[in-house]
Amino acid sequence: MSEIDSIPVSGATALYAIVGDPVAQVRSPQVINALFAQAGIDALLVPLHVPRARFADTMRSLMSIENLQGIVLTVPFKVDAKALVDHMLPGARAAGAVNAMRRSKEGAWEGDMFDGAGLVRALQDHGHTPESKRVLLVGTGGAGRAIAIALAQHGVRELALSDIDHARAQEVAQAVRDIAPNCRCTIAPAAFDGHDIVINATPLGMRPDDPLPLDLAGMGASHVLFDIVPKPDITPLMREAQTRGIATIGGKRMIEGQARAITEFFGHRV
């Protein structure tokens, strides 16, 4: 049994879970466990497929397990999780959803939202701090809303929101204005108009025959395109941007940025 010590889980391991319905598709266990392993931290994130009908009961049970120190929430539980935490941090309140919760030293559960933090972190990693920038964000669904909030929290000067659902875009604009009164937040068409950073937060690009989600005309080498679609690695929109000399960042970088942000929220330096 010589390999026993190489298996990174023991009764003393700090345990985390990602809860979804389903979970077979989630990438967080691989990405976050790789961060734990690289940093030499005795911690493990496991996926739990919790049936929707049993969500609240099961969460209360999980929250009582003494060595379970944090929970990541994924589809369809990010909104329902709000009711379970004792305290919501500002990003979660503004996003209206929780995608990670942790047990505080006092035993209370705190919730926050990192869907947008991952994108901000990826921008920063690529040398594009959002502070004082003009940003066009196309798509204001769950992910787009969280990104809008995170960008506003990180000091973007102007945030233009575009969505075929105008009411939804207006609602997100209001949430942005509430959390960041100094950010000039407007509704705009899905087309470049002198922005520093352009973001696709729609699902367009996942399927090969999707139309391009936005018009890149006028963008060039001094601009950045972020496409949150994680697969394929290079979406048709990113390819189009690259032919114009535009810097591109893909959805995988957002997933990695989010994993690092959540791992730090859980109290680990990675």
Q: Which residues bind a copy of itself (CB under 8 A)?
A: 1, 3-7, 9-13, 15, 22-27, 29-31, 33-34, 37-38, 44-51, 54, 57-58, 60-62, 64-68, 256
CA distance 63 to 49: 15
38 or 182, CB closer to a copy of itself? 38
From the list 78, 82, 105, 231, the catalytic residue is 78
8 or 155, CB closer to a copy of itself? 8
Q: How far is the CB of 214 from a copy of itself (least distance, A)?
A: 28
Q: How far is the CB of 63 from a copy of itself (least distance, A)?
A: 10
252 belongs to the catalytic site: no
C-alpha dist (Å) from residue 256 to 79, 158, 180, 245, 269: 22, 26, 26, 25, 15
Q: How far is the CB of 178 from a copy of itself (least distance, A)?
A: 35
Q: How far is the CB of 30 from a copy of itself (least distance, A)?
A: 5
45 or 160, CB closer to a copy of itself? 45
Residue given tokens 């959002």 in the structure block: 130
55 or 114, CB closer to a copy of itself? 55
CA distance 151 to 154: 5
Strand ranges, E, within the chain: 14-20, 43-49, 68-73, 87-88, 100-103, 109-112, 134-138, 158-162, 184-187, 197-200, 224-227, 247-249
Cβ atoms of 81 and 101 within 8 Å: the answer is yes
User: Which residues are marked as active site?
Assistant: 78
